[in-house]
Amino acid sequence: MKIEKRVLDAWPVHKWLEASSPAVEGVDRLLADAEKGSIRLFMSAINVSEVYYALLKRGEEAIALRWREMSGTLPVTIEVPSIEDIWEAAALKGQFPLGYGDAFAAALAQKHRCPLVTGDPEFRSVAGLELEWLGEAKDSVKGQRRKPR
């Protein structure tokens, strides 16, 4: 039996830590499925640190420290980028209008040939990137796996 995979972007993790719907329900579901072993979750170390620094920058030191402690205990494989991963992310950044951290999330999803879990509309520009959307309710692709336009 092949276990499904997903890559977490920083966006749904931020929303999950804020307990913001609909991302909190989606991330809770994914984490529960990963705990049961029915899905495998990945996150780039770049995106893990992105969550941390963004919380610190917003003055949310207690939440940032909680994230730093809990990130290593979640059922998520945190991948430190190899030099090849760095080149792949740089190529995506050069080709599409993505933030540098977002390029690492997209590259990791492509590496594992699986959907990227996000609600960040920036990713819609990346050709061939499959998204599992946890964005706002007003978004027409909310909660759906889809191939970008």
* DSSP helix/strand/coil, 25: helix
pLDDT at residue 135 in the model: 77
Report, as an integer, the average pLDDT of 13-28.
92
pLDDT at residue 140 in the model: 41
Tell me the per-residue pLDDT of 53-71, one tens digit each, with 9 for 90 and over: 999 999 999 999 999 999 9
Instruction: Name the pLDDT band for 142 (thresholds 50, 70, 90).
Output: very low
Contact of 137 with 24, CB cutoff 8 Å: no
Please report, for the domain that includes residue 81, its CATH number.
3.40.50.1010
pLDDT at residue 103 in the model: 98
Strand duo 131-133 + 145-146: pairing = antiparallel
How many domains does the chain contain in total? 1
Identify which of 140, 44, 32 has the alpha carbon closest to the alpha carbon of residue 92: 44
Please give the structure tokens belonging to residue 31.
């984490």
Q: Domain of residue 42: give its range.
A: 4-146
